[in-house]
Amino acid sequence: MKPLALFAVSLALSWAGTTLAQQLPGRPSDDPTPGTATSRETAEMRANIHMARKEYSEAANTYIEILRAEPKNADLLNKAGIAYQQLGELNRAEHYYKKAMSADKKFSSAVNNLGTLEYERKRYGRAIRSYQKALTMGNEMASIYSNLGYAYFANKEYPEAMGSFSKALALDPTIFERKGGVGSILQQRASTNPGLFFFLLAKSFAKAGDAERTAHYLKLSRDDGYKDFGSAENDPEFAKVIQDPRVHEVLHVVPSYVDDARKPASN
C-alpha cells in the first residue's frame, strides 16, 4: 500500500500573503507600494506569497535575507525552517527550528514543527516528546494534539493515540477535514496504516456521538481494506451511534466497488 503524502501545512495560522497571492495573478513585485508598506514589510510579504505558491526555494532565500538584519526573529526563523522542510532539506530545517526555539523559549510552533521533522525521519519517540513539550507551553492547539496522535499511532501506542485524537476533536471537530494550506505550524497528514487509522478516528467520533463523521471514517476504513472494520458492530465505544442509519449502511451494505477480499465476513 502506497503511503499517503507526508505533510500538509495547517490552515490554523495563515500567512498574510495568502490572500494577496489569491488576488495577484502575476509574480510578486520587488518594489514596495508607496505609502502602504516599508521595504522590510514588503520583503516578508513577498516571501509569504512565495510560500502560498509553493515556491519554497524563493521563500527560504527571502526569509534568510531578512534574517541577516534580524537574526533572532523567531517567527522568521520558523518560517525559514518550514520552507526548507518542504524542500526536503531536513538538516537545514532542523537548524532553523532550533534557532527559533532558542530565540523564543515559549515558541510552541517551532517545537511542534521539529516534531513533524522527527516524524518524517521515523523517529516517533522523539516526535512524541516534541509534541508533548509544545503542549506544555500554554498553547493546546488541536493540530498539536492531532500530530501527537499520529506519532503515538505510528509508534503502535493505540490507546494513547485515541486519547490524543479525542482531545484534538474536542477542540476542533473539523481537524481531520482541512485541506492543505499555508501557515506557521505544520500538521501531520499521513498515517503508517491508513485503514486502522480511519477506524480509530471513527471510534473517536462515535464516542463523541457524531454519527455522520463516524460513518464517513468507517467507510474510509472499509474502502482502504481494513479487515476488522466490522468489529464496530459489537464494540461498546460505538454504542451511541450504532443504530444510526448512516453507520448501519456502512457496516451492512457493501458497495460493488469493494472487492470480495475487503468485504466483512457475514454474521
- Residue range 33-46: mean pLDDT, rounded: 77
The grid coordinates of residue 95 equal: 537548524
Name the band, by pLDDT with cuts 50, 70 and 90, for residue 3. Answer: very low
**Angle, CA of 132, 203 and 138, to the nearest 5°:** 25
pLDDT digits (tens, 9 = 90+) for 69-121: 999 999 999 999 999 999 999 999 999 999 999 999 999 999 999 999 999 99
Looking at residue 253, its pLDDT comes to 82
pTM: 0.78
Confidence label for 176 from pLDDT (cuts 50, 70 and 90):
confident
Give the whole-angstrom CA distance, residue 231 versus residue 218. 11
CA 114, CA 256: separation in Å to the nearest integer? 43
Consecutive H or E run containing 186: strand 186-188
Q: Residue 251 has which C-alpha cell?
A: 457496516
- The C-alpha atoms of residue 135 and residue 128 are separated, in whole angstroms, by 11
| CB-count burial class (<10 Å; 0-12, 13-18, 19+) for 51 | buried
User: Using the 8-state DSSP alphabet, how is residue 9 labeled?
Assistant: E
What pLDDT is attached to residue 138?
A: 77
What residue ranges do the domains of the chain occupy?
Answer: 7-189, 193-267
The CATH code of domain 7-189 reads 1.25.40.10
What contacts 119, CB < 8 A, 6 or more positions away? 127, 147, 150, 151, 154, 188
Residues 6 or more apart in contact with residue 169 via CB below 8 angstroms: 142, 175, 176, 204, 205, 208
Q: In the chain, what is the straight-line distance between the N-terminal and C-terminal CA atoms, in Å? A: 28
Given a contact cutoff of 8 angstroms between Cβ atoms, the answer to whether 17 and 48 are in contact is yes
